[in-house]
Amino acid sequence: MAVYKAPLRDMRFVLDEVFKATEFWQSLPPLAEVDRDVVDAVLEESAKLNENVLFPLNRTGDEEGAQFNNGVVTTPKGFKEAFRQFAEGGWIGLGADPRWGGQGMPKTVTVMTDEIMFGVNPSFALYPLLGIGAALAMSQHATDEINDFYLPRIYSGEWAGTMCLTEPHAGTDLGIIKTKAVPNADGSYAISGTKIFITGGEHDLADNIVHLVLAKLPDAPAGSKGISLFLVPKFMPNPDGSLGARNTVAAGSIEHKMGIKASATCVMNFDGAKGWLIGKPNEGLAAMFVMMNYERLSMGIQGLGASEVAYQNAAAYARDRLQGRSATGAKSPEKPADSLLVHPDVRRMLLKTRAYNEAGRCFAMYTAKYLDLAKYAEGEQARLAADRVALLTPVAKAFMSDRGLEGTLEAQMCFGGHGYIREWGMEQYVRDTRIAQIYEGTNGIQANDLMGRKVVKNNGAYVATYVAEMRAAAERLQGADVAGLKTAFLASVAALEALTQAVIARAAGAPDEINAAAVDYLQAFGLVTYAYMFVLMAAEAAPKKASDSFYADKLALADFYMSRVLPELDGRVRAVEAGAAPIMQFAEGYF
C-alpha cells in the first residue's frame, strides 16, 4: 500500500532558514501582514487534507478515470466530494487577492501546498489549478466589472476555469490558430473553433466553467501579434450570478491518455459561443503568459511531488525488503538476508532521488521568491525580479520535471519487478509524471526559450547577474568541512559562464546552434542551479550540524550531489561544444 507524509520539516527549513521568509515578507508592504503561525497552520491542514482525503483517491481515480458520455464528463468516485471539501476549506483562493475572496498568501507559501497536492493526486490537482491560473490572468487584464463578478465564484469553487490555447494544427505555433471571434452588436463576440488538450474543459465538479480562449478578430494581423483573449462561460450567467442558458460550447470527446487519467483532457468545440474580450485586442498572448509563468512552475512542482512520494515508498520498501548480503559481511545475521539498503547501488538510486527532491524544493521556493518580488515589489527591484523570473521559468518547468521523472524511475527501480506491478503504485507515478515534461510547452521548447530568448537575445545579461549572485553566495561557505563543496560549486559556475559565452559567440553566425545546444544547455544550467541550492542550504546547515542530525544529513546529501550528480555537467558541456553539425549533417530523406 502506498504511503505519503508531507515533508513539512524540510519545507520549514527551506522557508525559514534558507529564505528567511518572515523577513522577506516584511520587506514587501503588501505581504507584511503574513503571519508565520498562520502559515504553519496552513501547512499542517494542507498535509491533513491531502494525506487523508486526496491521496486515497489517487489510485482509484486512475483505475476509474474520467468518463465521457454524450458530451457529459463525470469525474471518478469521490472527486466531487473532495473538490467540495477542498473549495470549502479556502484552498482555491489561498494565494488570491482578498478583494475577491482570497486569502492573500504569497507564492512562497502556495508553492509548498502545491507540492503536497501534486504528490498525493496530480489528476485532482489540475482541476483547481486551471481555475487559479485563469483567474490570475483575468485579475491583471480583465475589467473590474468582470473580475468582481467572476473571480469570487472561481475562488470559492462554485465555478471552475480553463485555458484554451492548442488547436489540432497549432500547438507551439499559436500564431496559426484558426479560432475566430466575430463582434456582436451588444459588445460581445461570437467564438467559433476547436481547441484540443483542454484540461478540465468539461466536468461535474463545479456549476459553471469559465473558459479563457485564444482567438483571432476578423481584422487581426497575421501571426502571434493577432491573437486576442476571450472569456467564454459554459452557462450564461444572469446578473445575480444564477445560471441561464447553456452557451454553444461543448466537449466533443476526452482523450485516452498514458496517465493522469482522472483528469478530463477535452476536445472543446466553440460554435458561435458568446464571449467577452479580456484585455486589449491582439494582445491576448501577453495576457495568457501572466498565468503561464505560474503554470510552468507548477509543472515542475508536479515532477517534484511525484518524485517525493516515489522516494518515500522506495525508501520504505528498501528498509523492509530482505535480499542478499552486504559485500562487507552480513548486517542482519539473525535474518535470512540483509535489507536492500546494504547494497550501494540501491543507495545510489535513493540518494539521487532525494537529492533531486531537496534541491528541487529549494529551487521551487527560490523561484517563488522572485515571483513574489515581481508581483509585490516596486520600481527597479520589481523589474530585476521579473528578469530573473524570465530566466528561471523554463528551467523550473523543464529541469524540475525532467529530474522529477528520473527520480520517480530510480525509485521504481528499487522495487525490481514489483515496481512494474500495479499493487505497489509505482507504475502510476511514472505514467502520471511523464506528462509534466510535455504540457505547458514541451521541455525541448522550454530549452529553446531559455537558450534563444533568455540567453542569446540579451547577450547573456540575465545569466551574468545570476552567475554573480552564485559566486557571492559561495563566499558564505567557510571552513574545512564545506571547502570541497565550495570548490566544486565555483568550478561548475565557471563552466556555465564559459559555456554561455561560447554558445552566444557561435550562434552569431549560425542560427541552428541555438536549438542544437538548447536541451544540453538547459540541463547544464539546471545542474549548476541545483548545486547552488545545495550551497544555500549548506550555508545554513553547516553551523548547526552538531546540534541536529537533520543538518548533518543535509551536508552529507550536498556532498553526494556534488560528487555523484554534478559531474554530469562535464558531459553536457561537451555535447554543447560539439555544435549543430553532427545533428544537421543528415539529409531529410535519411529519416
Give the pLDDT of residue 431.
98
- By C-alpha distance, which of 436, 395, 396, 198 is closest to 306? 436
- What's the pLDDT at 15? 98
Phi/psi for 101 (5° steps) reads: 95, 10
DSSP string, 213-264: EEEB-TTPPSGGGG-EEEEEESEEEPTTS-EEEEPSEEEEEE---SS-TTS-
Q: What is the pLDDT of residue 287?
A: 85
The mean pLDDT of 454-480, rounded to a whole number, is: 97
- Rounded mean pLDDT of 395-405? 98
pLDDT at 55 over 80: yes
For 239-288, the pLDDT digits (tens) are 999 999 999 999 999 999 999 999 999 999 999 999 999 999 999 988 88
Active-site residue identified among 295, 410, 427, 440: 440
> Tell me, what DSSP letter sits at residue 206?
S
pLDDT the model gives residue 509: 85
pLDDT at site 436:
97
Q: What is the pLDDT of residue 223?
A: 87
pLDDT of residue 311: 98
pTM of the full structure? 0.97
| pLDDT score of 292 | 79
Active site residue 17: no
Pinpoint the alpha helices (H) of 283-378.
Answer: 284-320, 344-376
What's the burial of 240, exposed, middle or buried (CB within 10 Å: 0-12/13-18/19+)? exposed
- Mean pLDDT over the full length of the chain: 96
Mind listing the pLDDT tens digit for each residue in 491-543?
999 999 999 999 999 999 899 999 999 999 999 999 999 999 999 999 999 99
How does pLDDT run across 343-354, given as a tens digit for each residue?
A: 999 999 999 999
Whole-number pLDDT of residue 285 = 87
The answer to whether residue 1 scores a pLDDT higher than 80 is: no
What is the average per-residue pLDDT within 383-398?
97
518 to each of 159, 422, 523, how far by Cα in Å? 40, 36, 9
Split at pLDDT 50, 70, 90, the class of 176 is confident
| Chain centre to alpha carbon of residue 5 | 20
**pLDDT tens digits along 285-313:** 888 877 777 889 999 999 999 999 999 99
